[in-house]
Structure 1
């Protein structure tokens, strides 16, 4: 059985798929990824075959991606749309180049991320048994996230949005005329659905879970539990200490030295042992001298830290959110993009933590929220109760089993 994976070239999209690939390979399947070069080693590490796609499709390297975060405020959908429209336009222009190489793979099943437009194109043209793998919530036109996307393009558009939207619509029109595939619009660009749709989110976290039928399989986090290489990170410093983990994720949106310095002021010299991850976009040395109770790194072994953490101040990315809930750690979610805003709302609604949408660089506000979450009764108990929902979906093993069953039915 041979599976092809097509994912948006971004760490938060690629990483959750790798445990599924490993499970498929362990059960005798062959797995091939089409991705940009920076993911070659990760793909090969799980035993899958790597095929390169054009480097310009890497979201991290795209013009404008690193400037989405405005000083003092997160990015809105409207901020993001010019970059995303251009990304989709370029992906559709590139997609036909993959048609014959992918046809020659003679695969049994194609798995694609709804945000990977060339994977969606190949599924439609080649008519292989195809499944989607969403790295966050299921998205439909009437879902909370789908409505946010649609609403984001209302009102006077910027010139950049007009140009990028025109490029996307024209690329979609060309694909429609040549291959007969549905046109791509802002209202449907991330809501591709197939006969099987894998959602690595607990059903209880999906805000409109009751609207999704049996084609949608909520498997929960796919990469947990797992062993983690801590390298030279001083995990021993966390033992017996009230540990606060702070991270805004891995995308260019975490380029927030103002926030990191506010954390120095908020928690320096406090009772907390603070672990602060700056991401690759901010060099720790550029922040100046860190307080003695801080461990500041570009990246940290997050799972190992969460085993000791009492509070996690996070951007609300889905991977980080589920890792915290898996370990029973309450969250303060400071969303840097709209999807994370929905997660922050869900965390607050379910009583699993707090949402921080204003005052990200206010040291007093940061201190108040962290202390509230750690000292008020109820937060930790509710997170502990929610752990069952996080763990019961079956993760990568259930996803792999569903794919094998689906692909076998397609061959029958």
Structure 2
């Protein structure tokens, strides 16, 4: 049996897809361990007994809410991705020395995993928790592409193999894409394997009032993810207005981790909670309103649920474009949408069949791709190649 070290940033959306793959490898008898700056986050998702090697690093500094485009990209790299890689690298090296994995599985935003593996001559696979860069989003902007290349070259000099040439975001050995071309479109990058979403069990949602759900009304789930609480207040308030206007035929379930909305106790039309059990709810809702985060989009489409997407920043506009191009949803403007416009988009995805039909087509493709078991098989094959 082989050993697999998963190197991940301290971000729930990046750990979740890897959890199912790691569990599948463990069930097949392989050794599995993690390296992450926040072991509690990993254990909360992968299980209390998951072996986690410590390393430095944080989830990044507070980002100005109005950053967009190239400035947002620059902030992401200069204030999060590059410092995170520098901070994690010594811990990743120590974890490799102690665990001696056959393969390092590095999240696409945990550059330290890829670069340390490269320096040590170990095979590494990329866990691509977003497909935004598969299409070469910055290829048409030479200055941006050159700036990114310079940052990666400097980072490689510090923690990788100075003679290496591989982009740490895309392993030349194996890149696991947790999507399919039916949503993300084709890619010409080598070694990419489309495995579809890795859907695994989540911690139980104790105390959730399942009896609140009204089978006579459509149900709409609203979520802006776990990293957007600083900018979501106005948008969530517009969602409340749009949903209340349709209360005779729609129930709304709103995740509000930042507590930006007033509580609505004993409300039969809206359920507002800091955290919602998203996966089991997706089996019971008719539409999703979200920020076009890759995990939320893919989990909704795994269940064949159409979307209204309101991209905020980072990869959200690219993923929103994929949803619209695939016909599985409608895009609205996060910063400017009003309750009437949001309501009209909701009415369309709820009552016009085209979006639901497209979502069902993607659902079929996602499930056929195989998810975590197929991803685990690809990793086993990579490990086997290195032992021949």
Q: 1:93 aligns with which of 86, 93, 99?
A: 86
Q: 2:100 aligns with which of 103, 106, 113?
A: 106
1:50 is matched with 52
Question: Any residues of structure 2 matched to 1:228-247 within 5 Å, and which?
Answer: 229-240=204-215, 241-247=217-223
Q: Distance in 2 between matches of 1:182 and 1:113?
A: 19
Q: Distance in 2 between matches of 1:378 and 1:101?
A: 49
Q: Distance in 1 between matches of 2:114 and 2:351?
A: 47
Q: Distance in 1 between matches of 2:123 and 2:169?
A: 18
SS of corresponding position for 2:34: strand
2:173 is matched with 195
1:273 is matched with 251
Q: Distance in 2 between matches of 1:296 and 1:330?
A: 21
**Contact 1:19 1:222 survives alignment (8 Å):** yes
Q: Distance in 2 between matches of 1:254 and 1:248?
A: 10
| Alpha-carbon offset, residue 194 of structure 1 | 2.3
Per-residue CA shift, 1:11-58, capped at 9, x if unaligned? 11111100111011111111110112232423651753111211xx22
**Contact 2:128 2:175 survives alignment (8 Å):** yes
1:158 is matched with none
Distance of aligned partners of 1:151 and 1:325 in 2 relative to their CA distance in 1, 3 Å threshold: farther
Is there any run of 5+ residues in structure 2 with no aligned partner, and where? none
**Contact 2:53 2:95 survives alignment (8 Å):** no
The normalised TM-score by structure 1 is 0.83
Q: Distance in 2 between matches of 1:148 and 1:42?
A: 40
Q: Distance in 1 between matches of 2:333 and 2:69?
A: 12
User: Which 10-residue stretch deviates more, 373-382 or 402-411?
Assistant: 373-382
Distance of aligned partners of 1:343 and 1:101 in 2 relative to their CA distance in 1, 3 Å threshold: closer
Distance of aligned partners of 1:249 and 1:360 in 2 relative to their CA distance in 1, 3 Å threshold: farther
Does 2:384 correspond to 1:408?
A: yes
User: Which 10-residue stretch deviates more, 196-205 or 392-401?
Assistant: 196-205
Distance of aligned partners of 1:311 and 1:96 in 2 relative to their CA distance in 1, 3 Å threshold: closer
1:206 is matched with 184
1:36 is matched with 37
Question: Any residues of structure 2 matched to 1:59-70 within 5 Å, and which?
Answer: 59=59, 62-65=60-63, 67=64, 69-70=65-66
1:159 is matched with none
Q: Distance in 2 between matches of 1:255 and 1:376?
A: 31
| Alpha-carbon offset, residue 151 of structure 1 | 6.3
Question: Any residues of structure 2 matched to 1:321-340 within 5 Å, and which?
Answer: 321-340=297-316
Q: 2:158 aligns with which of 147, 170, 175?
A: 175
SS of corresponding position for 1:78: helix
| Alpha-carbon offset, residue 369 of structure 1 | 0.8
1:157 is matched with none
**Contact 1:111 1:132 survives alignment (8 Å):** yes
**Contact 2:287 2:306 survives alignment (8 Å):** yes
SS of corresponding position for 1:316: coil
Q: Distance in 1 between matches of 2:232 and 2:163?
A: 41
SS of corresponding position for 1:313: strand
Is there any run of 5+ residues in structure 1 with no aligned partner, and where? 155-161
Q: Distance in 2 between matches of 1:341 and 1:374?
A: 22
**Contact 1:22 1:47 survives alignment (8 Å):** no
Q: Distance in 1 between matches of 2:104 and 2:52?
A: 15
Q: Distance in 2 between matches of 1:288 and 1:4?
A: 43
| Alpha-carbon offset, residue 148 of structure 1 | 7.3
1:384 is matched with 360
**Contact 1:243 1:275 survives alignment (8 Å):** yes
Question: Any residues of structure 2 matched to 1:300-311 within 5 Å, and which?
Answer: 300-311=276-287
2:121 is matched with 127
| Alpha-carbon offset, residue 101 of structure 1 | 4.4
The normalised TM-score by structure 2 is 0.88
1:394 is matched with 370
**Contact 1:134 1:199 survives alignment (8 Å):** yes
Q: 1:76 aligns with which of 69, 72, 84?
A: 69
**Contact 2:55 2:90 survives alignment (8 Å):** no
2:19 is matched with 18
User: Which 10-residue stretch deviates more, 350-359 or 106-115?
Assistant: 350-359
**Contact 2:55 2:88 survives alignment (8 Å):** no
**Contact 2:195 2:372 survives alignment (8 Å):** yes
